[in-house]
C-alpha cells in the first residue's frame, strides 16, 4: 500500500509539475509574441513584456510627464505596453481622429463608463452608434437650442464674484485666503448643471462640496484609469456581489447623490404631457434621446465637463498670476477695450491678448491628458515608415505634443502668449490646428468645447476687473495630481477689491 501511495503521489506531483511547466511555457511564448510584434518600437524594457510599467506610471500621479519623457527619449511613437504605443506627433493624432479614419476607439474607453453595463458618448466604441449620438446631441451642446446659454454662464460668474466679495475679501489689515482650486470647480459644476437642468446645483451658494461629490469623485478617478489598462475589470464590476460597492442613486453622498439628482430631473422631463424645455437636456430629448441615454449623457456632462473646464481655468489663471508682465498687458487690454459688464463672448473674441493667453494656457497646461488610445485597423498601418500591426493601441501624448521644442521653439516650456501674436499667418494656422487636439479632433472632437471656451472667454476678465489677487505661498502655489484630469487642491489666493479707475 505504501508503494502504491508513493507511486500515486509521484504521479500527482508529476501531473502538477507538467501543468505548471506548460503554463509557464504558454506565458513565455505569449510574452515573446507580444514583444516581437512591436519590437521595432522603442520604449522602457519592462513596457515591452508587461503592463506593470504602465500601471506604475498611471498610478503615480504624473503620467503626463512620464509619457512626454518616453517620447523625448525613444521617439515620437514609443512603446509603453505590450500592445500600447504613445505618440507626440500631432500629424499621427489627426490621422487617427479624422472623420473618415479607419481607426476606432480601443478598449481603453471601457474605463469611461460610469455604469459598467451602459455606454455613454465618451465610452461607446462602435463608430455608427457614436455618430448617431453626436447627431442627436450636437444642437444641445452648441447652445443653438438653449434660450439663455450666455446669460447662464454670466449669472454663475457673478455668483463666483459675489462669493469672493462677501466671504473672502482681504484688506491691508486682514487676510482671508480662498482655495481657488475648489471655487473654480464649484463654478464649473454650477454652470454645467444650470446649462443642463436650468438650475445650478448650488455649490457656489453653499460654498461647500455638496454631498462630498468632489471628494468622492477624486477617489474614483484612479480606479477608472486602472479599468482603461485592464478592461476585464469592467466585467468584474458587473458581478452582483460587487455592484453594491458602486455609486447608486440611493446613496446620500458622493457620485451616487448626483446620479440620483440627474435621474430625478430626467424622469420629470419624460413624464407624460411634460413640456419640452429649451435647455441642453430638453434639446437631447427633442432630438430623440431615450430616457436611459438622457440620464447617462447628462451625467457625463456634469462629471467630465466640470472637471476639465475647471482644470483649464485653474491652470491658466495660475500662469497669469505668476507672470506680472502678462497680467499687466491683459489689464491694459481690458481697460482699453469697449466691453460690456459682464463681458460678452463676441467682445472677448476681439481681444487679441486675452485670446493669446487662453491659447497659450491650453497649450502649456492641457486639462485632459488621458491616453484615449485608438485601435489600429485590422489590416495594420504604416507610420513614419514603420508597420503597426492591427489592434495595436496608440495613445495621446499631450505634453509631448504641446511641449515639443521642434514644433513650438526652444522656449516651448515657457508660458509666452506673444507666440500667438507674432507668428506669420501660415505658422499660426499650423499652431492652431495642433492646439485643436486639446479638445480632440474630427469625429471625436469634444461636444462641450463651445461651452468651455465661453467660460474661459469670460471668467478671467471678470475676476481681474473686480479683484487683485496674490498667491499665498509662492514656493508651493498648489497641490496637483494627474489622473487623466488634474486634481487641484490648496490653491490658496488672497483677493483684494480692485480700485476703480
Whether the upstream peptide bond of residue 342 has omega within 30° of 0, thus cis, is: yes
What's the per-residue H, E or C state across 223-240?
HHHHHHHCCHHHHHHCCH
Residue 140 has a pLDDT of 85
Q: List, as one string, the DSSP characters of 385-438.
A: TEEE-TT-EEEE-HHHHHT-HHHH-TTTTS--TTHHHHS-HHHHHHHHHHHGGG
Residue 8 located in a structural domain:
no
Instruction: Write out residues in the chain with pLDDT < 50, as ranges.
Output: 27, 241-242
Residue 55 located in a structural domain:
no
Residue 15 has a pLDDT of 65
Residue 30 has a pLDDT of 61
pTM: 0.91
Q: Coil, helix or strand for 468?
A: strand
SS3 content of the chain, % helix, strand, coil (to 5): 60, 10, 30
Residue 39 located in a structural domain:
no
Residue 197 has a pLDDT of 82
Q: List, as one string, the DSSP characters of 8-75.
A: HHHHHHHHHHHHHHHHHHHHHHHHHHHHHHTTTS---GGGGT-SHHHHHHHTTT-HHHHHHHHHHHH-
Residue 449 has a pLDDT of 93
Residue 326 has a pLDDT of 98
Residue 101 located in a structural domain:
yes
Residue 393 has a pLDDT of 97
Residue 248 has a pLDDT of 63
Residue 355 has a pLDDT of 98
Residue 501 has a pLDDT of 57
CB 113 within 8 A of CB 234: yes
Residue 369 located in a structural domain:
yes
Residue 28 located in a structural domain:
no
482 is in an annotated binding site: no
Residue 43 located in a structural domain:
no
Helices (H), 124-207: 127-142, 149-167, 180-197, 203-206
Rounded-to-integer distance, Cα 457 and Cα 343, Å: 9
Rounded-to-integer distance, Cα 381 and Cα 387, Å: 6
Containing structural domain, residue 431: 61-497
Residue 196 has a pLDDT of 85
Angle 392-394-395 from CA coordinates, rounded to 5°:
145
Domain of residue 399, CATH code: 1.10.630.10
Residue 238 has a pLDDT of 61
User: For the chain, how many structural domains are there in total?
Assistant: 1
CB 421 within 8 A of CB 356: yes
Q: What digits encode the pLDDT tens for the residues 341-399?
A: 999 999 999 999 999 999 999 999 999 999 999 999 999 999 999 999 999 999 999 99
Residue 4 located in a structural domain:
no
Amino acid at each position: 500500500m505504501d508503494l502504491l501511495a508513493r507511486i500515486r503521489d509521484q504521479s500527482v506531483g508529476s501531473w502538477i509539475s507538467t501543468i505548471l511547466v506548460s503554463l509557464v511555457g504558454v506565458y513565455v511564448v505569449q510574452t515573446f509574441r507580444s514583444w516581437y510584434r512591436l519590437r521595432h518600437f522603442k520604449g522602457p524594457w519592462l513596457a515591452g513584456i508587461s503592463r506593470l510599467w504602465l500601471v506604475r506610471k498611471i498610478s503615480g500621479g504624473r503620467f503626463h510627464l512620464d509619457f512626454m519623457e518616453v517620447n523625448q527619449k525613444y521617439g515620437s511613437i514609443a512603446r509603453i505596453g505590450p500592445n500600447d504605443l504613445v505618440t507626440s506627433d500631432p500629424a499621427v493624432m489627426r490621422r487617427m481622429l479624422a472623420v473618415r479614419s479607419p481607426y476606432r476607439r480601443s478598449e481603453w474607453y471601457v474605463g469611461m463608463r460610469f455604469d459598467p453595463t451602459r455606454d455613454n458618448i465618451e465610452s461607446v466604441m462602435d463608430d455608427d452608434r457614436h455618430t448617431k449620438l453626436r447627431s442627436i446631441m450636437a444642437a444641445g451642446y452648441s447652445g443653438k437650442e438653449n434660450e439663455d446659454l450666455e446669460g447662464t454662464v454670466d449669472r454663475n460668474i457673478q455668483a463666483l464674484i459675489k462669493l469672493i466679495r462677501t466671504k473672502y475679501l482681504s484688506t491691508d489689515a486682514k487676510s482671508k485666503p480662498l482655495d481657488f482650486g475648489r471655487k473654480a470647480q464649484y463654478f464649473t459644476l454650477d454652470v454645467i448643471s444650470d446649462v443642463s437642468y436650468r438650475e445650478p446645483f448650488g455649490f457656489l451658494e453653499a460654498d461647500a462640496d455638496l454631498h462630498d461629490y468632489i471628494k468622492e469623485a477624486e477617489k474614483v478617478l484612479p480606479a477608472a484609469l486602472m479599468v482603461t489598462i485592464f478592461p476585464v475589470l469592467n466585467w468584474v464590476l458587473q458581478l452582483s456581489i460587487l455592484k453594491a460597492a458602486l455609486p447608486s442613486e440611493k446613496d446620500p453622498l458622493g457620485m451616487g447623490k448626483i446620479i440620483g439628482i440627474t435621474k430625478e430631473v430626467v424622469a420629470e422631463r419624460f413624464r407624460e404631457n411634460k413640456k419640452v424645455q429649451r435647455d441642453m437636456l430638453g434639446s437631447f430629448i427633442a432630438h430623440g434621446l431615450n430616457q436611459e441615454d438622457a440620464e447617462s449623457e447628462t451625467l457625463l456632462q456634469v462629471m467630465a465637463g466640470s472637471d476639465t473646464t475647471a482644470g483649464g481655468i485653474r491652470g491658466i489663471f495660475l500662469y497669469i498670476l505668476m507672470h506680472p508682465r502678462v497680467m499687466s498687458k491683459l489689464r491694459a487690454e481690458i481697460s482699453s477695450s469697449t466691453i460690456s459688464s459682464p463681458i460678452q463672448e463676441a467682445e472677448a473674441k476681439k481681444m487679441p491678448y486675452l485670446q493669446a493667453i487662453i491659447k497659450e494656457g491650453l497649450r502649456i497646461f492641457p486639462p485632459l491628458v488621458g491616453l484615449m488610445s485608438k485601435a489600429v485597423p485590422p489590416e495594420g498601418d504604416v507610420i513614419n515608415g514603420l508597420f503597426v500591426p492591427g489592434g495595436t493601441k496608440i495613445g495621446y501624448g499631450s505634453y509631448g505634443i504641446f511641449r515639443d521644442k521642434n514644433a513650438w521653439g526652444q522656449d516651448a516650456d515657457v508660458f509666452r502668449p506673444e507666440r500667438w501674436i507674432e507668428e506669420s499667418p501660415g505658422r499660426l494656422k499650423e499652431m492652431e490646428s495642433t492646439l485643436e487636439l486639446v479638445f480632440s479632433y474630427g469625429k471625436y472632437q469634444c461636444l462641450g468645447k463651445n461651452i468651455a471656451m465661453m467660460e474661459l472667454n469670460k471668467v478671467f476678465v471678470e475676476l481681474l476687473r473686480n479683484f487683485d489677487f496674490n498667491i499665498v505661498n509662492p514656493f508651493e502655489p498648489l497641490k496637483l495630481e494627474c489622473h487623466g484630469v488634474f486634481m487641484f487642491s490648496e490653491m490658496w489666493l488672497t483677493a483684494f477689491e480692485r480700485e476703480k479707475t
